[in-house]
Each structure stands twice: as structure tokens, then as C-alpha cells.
Amino acid sequence: MNTKKIKTYRLVIKGKVQGVGFRHWFSNLAISLGLNGYIQNQHNKCEVEAIIQGDKESILNIAEKSKTGPELAHVEDVIPSKIVNNATYSGFIVKYDNK
């Protein structure tokens, strides 16, 4: 991957997204798109947060697909924001707490 094309975004996905397999669905999709980063539940029980890093086309693709999510999810909103930092992620993981 050309490092000049690598972008980092934070996605906050709101709705019925906890307890429905959303994180694992998202992780599998991220890996298939060649994205790096992580996804985790938020404490308020109706949000997950993903930090994703990769090419802009793949990031836009996963953000769009997240508007639907897996079968049992009911997504109300997907809020993307670009992150400017020097962190480089390797692989994609599901975090089980947000500490």
C-alpha cells in the first residue's frame, strides 16, 4: 500500500449495533478490503467505534456498507471523521473493551 494514499478515519456507528454480531461482521469486511485498525463497543450500548486505516476508496466502501450492517443490526447513523495522526495500524482487530 502506498503510504501517501493511506488515510485514517474514525467511524461512529449508532443504532442496534451491539449484541448482533456487528463488530465481527465489520472486522471481516475490513480485512477483506485490506483495511487496518480496530472496532469496539462504546459504553452507551447503542454505538460502536471503528478506527480504520487504508485507501480512501476502501474506507468509503466500508462506511457505506456499515449503513446496513449485518442482518440483525439496525443502523441509525454512521458518522465518519478524518483523523490526522502518526499511528500506523497493522491488521484489524475486535476490541472487547474500550480502555
Q: Which residues are marked as active site?
A: 23, 41
Which stretch of DSSP H or E encloses residue 56? helix 56-65
Grid cell for residue 45? 450500548
Q: Tell me how many degrees the CA angle 10-11-17 measures, rounded to the nearest 5.
A: 145
DSSP 8-state secondary structure symbol assigned to residue 71: T
How far is 58 from 15, CA to CA, in rounded Å? 23
